[in-house]
Structure 1
């Protein structure tokens, strides 16, 4: 069973970065994407860096040619320490989906955002 915990006001969450909050003694990054709000544990599973404090960006798309195609703008957070890229919606590492950071469900009530733990 999960419990919802107040995290922040919706208008405190920036468009292209995470709002870092502490909920139940855990550092959590809250993101605003086009499809809504998402929350990830602010700990990179690689070496323990503050993952959600890295840049929110896109990544290069796999193609059959030698050209680079930038894709998924605003959907990826890149760890500032070693450049590992994680999907903000799922918490999955882009190179190996078996590596993940913890994600949390969120809900909005009026102007309040809650993280479910």
Structure 2
């Protein structure tokens, strides 16, 4: 279904109908030589480079969770539920919205892409026009 349309500063790529990505589902999109994990987490659509910046492990296998957040001494507060993806090899956690790591947000990050639900389609915005796009279903029992 992919079709590319040049916008003012980006290339708009229609990937697939939105009903093909239900909550909890993921798809692997190959744009030329780059793999992008597209996922629906609680009706929020995210697109991330499918490569952990640490050792290149596929992030599409990562679990989605939250983490302990800043709180008062002797209090433990869990937050950011379903906003973090964890590297399946070493457990590095990244914010799905910003790509920043939890442990070193100003030094290590995961590349994120602008992805949206528009007119009942999932649309990816890219800086350059792709030559080849492949969308693959991905079966994983993570959130």
Give runs of aligned pairs for residues 1-117 of structure 1, distance below 5 A: 1-16=9-24, 18-33=26-41, 36-97=44-105, 98-117=107-126
Q: Aligned residues, how many?
A: 117
CA distance in 1, matches of 2:119, 2:113: 19
- The Cα RMSD (Å) is 2.1
Distance 1:109 1:24 in 2: 23
Offset at residue 34 of structure 1 (A)? 5.4
Structure 1, unaligned runs of 5 or more: none
Checking the alignment, whether the CA contact within 8 Å between 1:7 and 1:22 is kept in structure 2 is: no
Which stretches in structure 2 are left out of the alignment for 5+ residues?
A: 1-8, 127-143
Instruction: Quote how far apart the aligned CAs of 1:60 are.
Output: 1.3
Q: 1:25 to 1:111 in 2, by over 3 A?
A: farther
Larger Cα-atom Rg: 2
Q: Could you tell me the TM-score, scaled by structure 1's length?
A: 0.83
Gap change, CA 1:17 and 1:90, over 3 Å in 2: farther
- TM-score normalised according to structure 2 size: 0.70
2:39 and 2:47 in contact (8 A); partners too: yes
Higher relative contact order structure (alpha carbons within 8 Å, sequence separation ≥ 6): 2
